[in-house]
Chains A and B, each alone.
Chain A
């Protein structure tokens, strides 16, 4: 009787959940290599992602939590990283004379943001600042799929009944279906160093991979350690179970 009761209640529960579910546009789900128990990043896609960030995104967005030395994860050598870091100018100081000075970047430096601070960015973009991308995929619900969907879904002409404010762009995935960021990537916006065809899907896929790595650089280490830990715990728990049964036999006899 109680089972029936719960069945009815739960069905009701699911029914109302679905009834009240807001009409949401479904995400363009991708098969990310970093998803799942054996999830791994693919270095070639990460390197292409870095190139996109470098040539497109970094004009407006910072990634201040990333250090050049971390690029080692992407398969770069120490020398390559050092050379890459040296292409950036970094404000340091004060020196013995109490003055700030510019020096070239070191692998231990963080990525250089295009704006000194949030206020400067806001001033440049009419009150809206381009967020720092270091943690973006973690800071959004279904981050990777959401960003992929957003990047691939700009529409030049909004639906006829939609009134678009000047200077904003139509994108069905963004809040209120408008976004201040102009379409950042499109077919062949850059030319990949490795010669991959730079179509919109590939570009979006690569940049999302790069952003995901930037937000969770520990992911591969975490998952491979997790597998070992869980394997060990399972074996240990089985042994404990057998021991427990053995010990309890003493009084169950």
Chain B
């Protein structure tokens, strides 16, 4: 079954260390559903973004100084004195936003096409773990420039640990390395910000192993049994992924070159000052929905639990969704609820950017309740009562209606 390499040196090495055959299996021969649409580009996009982030971060780390008195200045040194430092830093800071944008779409794709259902539960879990690690990494990275928002975001988030009963305050001191945010905090945040991306790489590796074991889901959501339903990854999906990279890099480039600060907060260009609290502290846009959930609940501990729960609930999603049909294409009612869920999530993000008072607070509470209702009530019940559309036996039956291929 294992194809031999024609090149003798390659064959000799591969016989002793099969890296080339593993790579060939993953990137060349891997049988992939032939009907994947553009939403399936976002996995490879997330991968390339991770690489861009690690490479640009590596260069930044050569110039950055993790010290409370020097961090802000060293970032400005990168912006002004390092050759193309502004480009590297903007790629890294805009890249964080792009990474989240892509991963949110990647997750939404999974939700829409039921990619979390058996046998892809572990694949789904690994994805959530990557998302959690990304959240941690992004938060730690945001504190490093030591601007006002960096400092106060770190204050707000580390303060959440104090909600833990009995030992909360001790844990905060332990996490900060002191009684308040100071140099030890910045040092350890930098250390972890450097470490976590490599752990993400590890989990991504597992994510891909699991993917190759169970195979990609596809827009019909059915299991593919026919041989001709699959095509080799190369050249069909390599070229499609490269085209995706091209489109993505254009959007990425527009932000890096023309709107580099539009996704950030102006306050972070003011050096951190522990004595001056910004008027209102908001996280980066990609955390806003979860920030809204945190603040929707008046009790700190419950708020923290709700915020954590809003992500952790995804772990049990494969069992909360009781419907056997995977894809939304054949679930007319769930499809509507899916879009309402997305809309609700965007509204959460919007209220997350507002001061939690009056109407905003009410909206954030309604949306928080709906967020959990979607998973805990709507999905289980829908699986029992929804009348799904007839599911095709193979992908060609479904594709024929749309496009006249494979006559």
The residues of A with any CB-CB pair to B shorter than 8 Å are: 2, 5-6, 9, 13, 16, 20, 37, 65, 67, 70, 131, 134-135, 138-141, 143, 215, 217-218, 222-223, 225-227, 229-230, 233-234, 236-237, 240-241, 243-244, 247-248, 251-252
0/1 interface trace, chain B 220-251, chain A, CB 8 Å (1 if under): 00000000000100011001101100110110
Number of A-B contacts (CB under 8 A): 94
CB-contact partner of A141 in B240, B243, B266, under 8 A = B266
CB-defined A-B contacts under 8 Å, sample of 28: A2-B336, A6-B339, A6-B343, A13-B350, A20-B358, A20-B360, A135-B76, A135-B269, A138-B269, A139-B269, A141-B266, A222-B257, A223-B257, A223-B258, A225-B87, A226-B253, A227-B257, A230-B250, A230-B254, A230-B257, A237-B250, A240-B239, A240-B242, A241-B246, A244-B239, A244-B242, A251-B231, A252-B406
CB-contact partner of A139 in B236, B242, B266, under 8 A = B266
Q: How far is the CA of A229 from the CA of B406 in the complex (A)?
A: 40
Q: How far is the CA of A217 from the CA of B82 in the complex (A)?
A: 13
| 8 additional contacts (CB under 8 A) given A20-B360, A225-B87 | A65-B76, A70-B80, A139-B266, A218-B79, A226-B254, A229-B257, A230-B253, A244-B242
User: Closest Cβ of chain B: how far from A31's Cβ, in Å?
Assistant: 17
Q: Is B359 an interface residue (CB 8 A)?
A: yes
User: Is the interface on chain B under 10, 10 to 19, 20 to 34, or 35 or more residues?
Assistant: 35 or more
Q: How far is the CA of A228 from the CA of B270 in the complex (A)?
A: 32
| Chain A residues within an 8 Å CB radius of B260 | 222
CB <8 Å contact, B261 and A138:
yes
CB <8 Å contact, B87 and A244:
no
Q: How far is the CA of A43 from the CA of B239 in the complex (A)?
A: 46
| Chain A residues within an 8 Å CB radius of B239 | 240, 243-244, 247-248
Q: How far is the CA of A140 from the CA of B261 in the complex (A)?
A: 11
Assess A218 versus B86: contact at CB under 8 Å? Given A6-B339, A135-B76.
yes
Assess A240 versus B246: contact at CB under 8 Å? Given A139-B267, A143-B266.
yes
Assess A234 versus B267: contact at CB under 8 Å? Given A6-B339, A223-B258.
no
User: Closest Cβ of chain A: how far from B132's Cβ, in Å?
Assistant: 30
Q: Give B54-92 interface residues, CB cut-off 8 Å to A.
A: 76, 79-80, 86-87, 90
Q: How far is the CA of A215 from the CA of B270 in the complex (A)?
A: 12
Q: Is B347 an interface residue (CB 8 A)?
A: yes
CB-contact partner of A244 in B243, B359, B360, B363, under 8 A = B243
CB <8 Å contact, A229 and B253:
yes
User: Closest Cβ of chain A: how far from B293's Cβ, in Å?
Assistant: 19
Q: Top 3 closest A-B pairs, CB basis?
A: A226-B257, A237-B246, A139-B269
Q: Is B405 an interface residue (CB 8 A)?
A: yes
| Chain A residues within an 8 Å CB radius of B359 | 16, 20
Assess A233 versus B253: contact at CB under 8 Å? Given A2-B336, A244-B240.
yes
Q: How far is the CA of A37 from the CA of B246 in the complex (A)?
A: 20
| Chain B residues within an 8 Å CB radius of A247 | 235-236, 239
Q: How far is the CA of A190 from the CA of B295 in the complex (A)?
A: 51
Assess A225 versus B266: contact at CB under 8 Å? Given A2-B336, A240-B243, A244-B239.
no
Q: How far is the CA of A200 from the CA of B243 in the complex (A)?
A: 52
**Chain A: CB-nearest residue to B269:** A139
**Chain B: CB-nearest residue to A36:** B258
| Chain A residues within an 8 Å CB radius of B79 | 218
CB-contact partner of A234 in B250, B261, B269, under 8 A = B250
**Chain B: CB-nearest residue to A237:** B246
| Chain A residues within an 8 Å CB radius of B350 | 13
| Chain A residues within an 8 Å CB radius of B46 | none
Q: Is B50 an interface residue (CB 8 A)?
A: no
| Chain A residues within an 8 Å CB radius of B347 | 13
Q: How far is the CA of A37 from the CA of B254 in the complex (A)?
A: 10
| Chain B residues within an 8 Å CB radius of A138 | 261, 266, 269
Q: Is B307 an interface residue (CB 8 A)?
A: no
| Chain A residues within an 8 Å CB radius of B86 | 218, 222
CB-contact partner of B80 in A217, A240, A248, under 8 A = A217
User: Which of A20, A37, A233 is the most central at the interface, judged by chain B CB atoms within 10 Å of its CB?
Assistant: A233
CB-contact partner of A222 in B87, B240, B249, B254, under 8 A = B87
Q: Is B329 an interface residue (CB 8 A)?
A: no
Q: Is B374 an interface residue (CB 8 A)?
A: no
CB <8 Å contact, B243 and A237:
yes
Q: How far is the CA of A13 from the CA of B347 in the complex (A)?
A: 9
| Chain B residues within an 8 Å CB radius of A143 | 266
User: Closest Cβ of chain B: how far from A241's Cβ, in Å?
Assistant: 6
Q: How far is the CA of A16 from the CA of B339 in the complex (A)?
A: 21
| Chain A residues within an 8 Å CB radius of B343 | 6, 9
CB <8 Å contact, B257 and A225:
yes
| Chain A residues within an 8 Å CB radius of B80 | 65, 67, 70, 217-218
**Chain A: CB-nearest residue to B360:** A20
Assess A251 versus B235: contact at CB under 8 Å? Given A143-B266, A240-B243.
no
| Chain B residues within an 8 Å CB radius of A20 | 354, 358-360
Q: How far is the CA of A240 from the CA of B270 in the complex (A)?
A: 43
Q: Give B12-63 interface residues, CB cut-off 8 Å to A.
A: 34
CB <8 Å contact, A233 and B246:
yes
| Chain A residues within an 8 Å CB radius of B257 | 222-223, 225-227, 229-230
